[in-house]
Amino acid sequence: MPSSSNGASSVELNAALQPLNWLLGTWESNEPGQGGFHSIKPFSYTEKLHFSHMGQPSMHFMFTATPEDSAKPSHRECGFIRMQPETNRVAFIIAQNSGLVEIEEGELTGKQLILKTRKLERISFAKEPHVQEISRVFHLRSDGKLEQTVSMTTDKQAPTQHVNITYIKTP
Residue 101 scores a pLDDT above 70: yes
5 in any annotated domain: no
pTM value is 0.91
Give the other-Cβ count within 10 Å of 109's Cβ. Answer: 11
- The percent of residues in the chain predicted with pLDDT above 70, rounded, is 95
Pairwise CA distance, residues 134 & 117, whole Å: 5
- The number of distinct structural domains making up the chain is 1
Task: Summarize the confidence of residues 72-85 as an average pLDDT.
Answer: 96
Is there a domain that residue 4 lies in?
no
Residue 7 lies inside a defined structural domain of this protein: no
Q: Is residue 3 part of a domain?
A: no
User: pLDDT of 14-50, one tens digit each?
Assistant: 999 999 999 999 999 999 999 998 878 999 999 999 9
Residue span of the structural domain in which 135 resides: 15-170
Q: Inform me whether the pLDDT recorded for 8 exceeds 90.
A: no
Q: Is residue 8 part of a domain?
A: no
Report how far residue 55's alpha carbon sits from residue 19's, in angstroms, rounded to the nearest whole number: 14
Residue 52 lies in a domain: yes
Rounded Cα gap, residues 70 and 168, in angstroms: 21
Instruction: Using pLDDT thresholds of 50, 70 and 90, give the confidence band for residue 63.
Output: very high
In a domain, 53, yes or no: yes
Contact 120, 133 (CB under 8 A): yes
Q: Measured between alpha carbons, how far apart are the two ends of the chain, in Å?
A: 19
CATH number at 71 reads 2.40.128.20
Indicate whether 137 belongs to any domain: yes
